[in-house]
Amino acid sequence: MNEEPYTKDFEAWHPTKKGLHSKEDHPFYNEREIWWCALGVNIGTEQDGTGENFDRPVLIIRGFNKSQFFGVALTGRKRENSKWHVYLGEIGDEGDGSVILSQVRTIDARRLVKKMATLDEPTFNKVVASLKTTLFP
């Protein structure tokens, strides 16, 4: 099986990025929510978005203000017993989801595309505890 390497299309992302930057408003969000988020095309092993909006699911960990939050990217793969992932279970109608602990960052709320779900408190607390032990051992 010979797969072609993934090629990052930065040029296709730039018009979307410019449009996001020029937006004057942003959606209202809360901690524990999972949103489709236009992460775009990024450098190296940073998680990229996919599709027309260059988006992927992101869990909102902490809001700093109405326009910026601390979030962590998700994968649609079921990842259990992994130091770098926390399995969340089924995310709404989207199927399985796992948080990628190494893909945490501040994000501008203008990148938020569509709310998917709200994570239950016990699972959210498990993610936060895992982030603390992974990032600050």
Alpha-carbon distance of 50 to 60, in angstroms, equals 19
For 76-126, how does the pLDDT look when each residue is reduced to its tens digit (9 = 90+)? 878 777 889 999 998 877 788 999 999 999 999 999 999 999 999 999 999
The closest alpha carbon to 113, from 46, 41, 29, 9, belongs to 29
Helix, strand, or coil (residue 137): coil
Q: Which amino acid is at 15?
A: P
Fold of the domain spanning 30-135: SH3 type barrels. (2.30.30)
Give residue for tokens 């989801």.
97
For 26-74, how does the pLDDT look when each residue is reduced to its tens digit (9 = 90+)? 899 999 999 999 987 776 666 777 878 889 999 999 999 999 999 999 9
| Residue 17 pLDDT greater than 90, yes or no | no
Alpha-carbon distance of 91 to 115, in angstroms, equals 11
